[in-house]
Structure formats: structure tokens, C-alpha cells
Chains A and B, each alone.
Chain A
Amino acid sequence: MDALDGNAIGGLLIDVFGAEMTAATGTCGACGDTGPVAGLVVYLKAPGTVVRCRICGNVLMVFVKAHGMTCVDLTGMARLDQPGAA
């Protein structure tokens, strides 16, 4: 299965966070790598959408849609900083 990147989930991230997040900065909770969400590794066809760290492979975000709701797991992410957000 081809891995994509965070650009591919720009719409999903707006659904969840209510804002553009591909340019947001994420920090991996395992290795500490920091970079734009657009650069993270994204698997769309896992059970749900799985986002991994490009350096260490740690699972950073999981999104599962069921019954009209999106369940979000962000436990692998140490920080998520939206540029310009107060």
C-alpha cells in the first residue's frame, strides 16, 4: 500500500479541527521529530486513516469514521501547533 502525506488529509483535518492544519507543526511523541503535518506519512486505507512519523514510524494520529462521527486518537503526538493560532 502506498503511503501518502499529510496534504492528502487537509479536508479531514478541517473537519476535525475546524481549521487548515497541513501547515501546522507536529512533534512526534516518540522521537521528537518536528515538522509540518503535510510531511507526515499517511495511510488512507488502513482501518481508518493512520498518520505516522516520517522518521521513526510512531503512530501520531488515527481517525476512524463511524455512524457519522469521527473518532480521533492523538496520543502519539507530543505537540500540534497551528501557525498564527492564538
Chain B
Amino acid sequence: MERTAVRGRLTWQAATVTGLTPETAAVVTITLDPPDWPGHQAGQHLDVRLTAEDGYVAERSYSIASAPGEPLAITVERLEDGEVSPYLTEELRAGDQLELRGPIGGYFVWKPADASPLTLLAGGSGIVPLRAILRDRLRTGSDVPARLLYSARTLPDVIYRDELGQHHDGVAVSYTLTRAQPPGWAGHTGRIDASLLADAAWPATAKPLAYVCGPTSFVETAAAGLVGLGYPPDRVKTERFGATGGH
């Protein structure tokens, strides 16, 4: 295909769906093969556009779940009143075409050359771009130490549970379950707060770089908590998800 995209413009393209992997009861990872993908950085998004038969168009932004160099993937949570996510999680099949454009974003991105210890705080599906960061860290052989604190309602709501459970040198993963805990649960419980952050995040003296992603209320609490621990505000990168799908 002739490359006609003008630099500085985003061009919609029809990607082929190459795979669908259920992550939880409501969450699916969709692997995509776009005809012209320039590559991306961990933490970036793409936009998805659905067009109904009557011409109605709905666009949503989704974090890219895969590391640079891996097959492109997004992870989508089904929202009961959503316009886009029910289609993506229930109707879409391998071989289908999906209109997308990207990559998008230059703020909430991680560069493997950055040597700062990583504090990663995820609320719900906010884990998706942080998973891309962890995979990029592994693929590039980065040895920056990383601490991930993942807040989920229940254990079955934890996305990428098996992957995050695999041991990797320099990566510490902890969970807090806010709604219900399985018998014998030894992890944290309840919503994120100052004492939990003090326990799970790097101290400010380690000069860490923090990425916080989740619902707005989670991000506000978590980011304010890190600043309270002495993190400079510009070392706390935030991204807020809505309840309206994607971001």
C-alpha cells in the first residue's frame, strides 16, 4: 500500500482482528493487524471508530496493551451501557475488520532509556497501559526496579492475573481488593490510601517516576497520596478513565 499519510496527521485504517483472548468475565484482549502501523511507545493509545448502518459513528480511545514490537493489542472492558465496548467484547470475531488510528499520546508514555525506579498504580482496567510498560521493560532488558500496586474489586476482576503472577527480577506486584476477598487472602484490602501507598510505592528518596491510571477518583487519591509522600508533581504521570468506555 502506498504510504499517503501526511506527517502530523492521523489516518483511519481498517485493521484485521487476529485474535480475541478473554481476560476476565467482562474483559477481552483484542489482537490487531493494521496495514500501516508506525510503531508505538508503552503507555500510548489508539482510537477505535465504529460506524452503524445508519451512519452513526462512535469513537473511543483505548490504551495499547502490547509492548512496542509485539503484535498490536488492546484490552477492552465491557460496560453495560456502553456504545462500543459491548460490540468489541461480544460481537467482534477473528478475521473482522476494525477501524482505528494511532498511536496517540506523548505524556503518559514510558521510555526504556529512563533509569528511574517505577511506581505503577492501577485502578481496575487502568492496568492496561502499565502492563504495556512492564512488558516493554522486560523486552528491552531494562533493569529499572518496578513496584506495581493494582486495586481491583475482587480477585476474579484482576486482569492479566497469570502474567502478573510470574516472577520477574526487579518487579514487585501487590494487590488491594476493595469489594471482596477470597478466604485466606493475604494481600491488601480496601481502597488505596496514604498508608497503603507508603507501603507499596517507592519512597520519594529513590527518585522514582510514577504512572497512575484508573478511574478519576482513584487517580485523584493515588496522585495526591504520592505527592504527600514527597513525589514532585511532575514525577507523577496520571491518566483518568471514565465510566463511559475506554477513556
Asked if B105 and A7 make an inter-chain contact with CB atoms under 8 angstroms apart, the answer reads: yes
List, in ascending order, chain A residues with CB within 8 A of B241's CB: 4
Of the candidates B59, B101, B106, B242, the one having the most CB atoms from chain A within 10 angstroms of its own CB is B106
- B125 to chain A minimum Cβ distance, whole angstroms, is 14
Q: Which of B9, B61, B239 contacts A38 (CB 8 A)?
A: B239
Interface membership of A19, Cβ < 8 A: yes
With contact pairs A11-B10, A11-B47 given, residues A4 and B104 touching in the complex (Cβ less than 8 Å): no
In the docked arrangement, what's the CA distance between A7 and B211, Å?
13
In the docked arrangement, what's the CA distance between A45 and B8, Å?
26
- B241 to chain A minimum Cβ distance, whole angstroms, is 7
Q: Which of B108, B238, B244 contacts A45 (CB 8 A)?
A: B244
**How many B residues touch A, CB cutoff 8 Å?**
27
Asked if A8 and B61 make an inter-chain contact with CB atoms under 8 angstroms apart, the answer reads: yes
List, in ascending order, chain B residues with CB within 8 A of A19's CB: 8
In the docked arrangement, what's the CA distance between A38 and B155, Å?
31
Asked if B242 and A4 make an inter-chain contact with CB atoms under 8 angstroms apart, the answer reads: yes
Interface membership of B107, Cβ < 8 A: yes
Q: Is the interface of A mostly helix, strand, loop or mixed?
A: mixed
Asked if A4 and B107 make an inter-chain contact with CB atoms under 8 angstroms apart, the answer reads: no
- A20 to chain B minimum Cβ distance, whole angstroms, is 4
Asked if B10 and A14 make an inter-chain contact with CB atoms under 8 angstroms apart, the answer reads: yes
Asked if B108 and A4 make an inter-chain contact with CB atoms under 8 angstroms apart, the answer reads: no
Asked if B45 and A10 make an inter-chain contact with CB atoms under 8 angstroms apart, the answer reads: yes
List, in ascending order, chain A residues with CB within 8 A of B237's CB: 38
Asked if A44 and B10 make an inter-chain contact with CB atoms under 8 angstroms apart, the answer reads: no
Interface membership of B235, Cβ < 8 A: no
List, in ascending order, chain B residues with CB within 8 A of A7's CB: 45, 61, 105, 107-108, 239-240, 247
Interface membership of B227, Cβ < 8 A: no
With contact pairs A2-B242, A4-B242, A10-B61 given, residues A23 and B107 touching in the complex (Cβ less than 8 Å): yes
B:42-71 near A, CB below 8 Å: 45, 47, 59, 61
By a beta-carbon cutoff of 8 Å, the part of chain B in contact with chain A is 8-10, 45, 47, 59, 61, 101-102, 104-108, 215-216, 233, 237-244, 246-247
By a beta-carbon cutoff of 8 Å, the part of chain A in contact with chain B is 2-8, 10-11, 14-15, 18-23, 35-39, 44-45
Closest 4 CB pairs of A and B: A38-B107, A10-B104, A2-B242, A20-B106
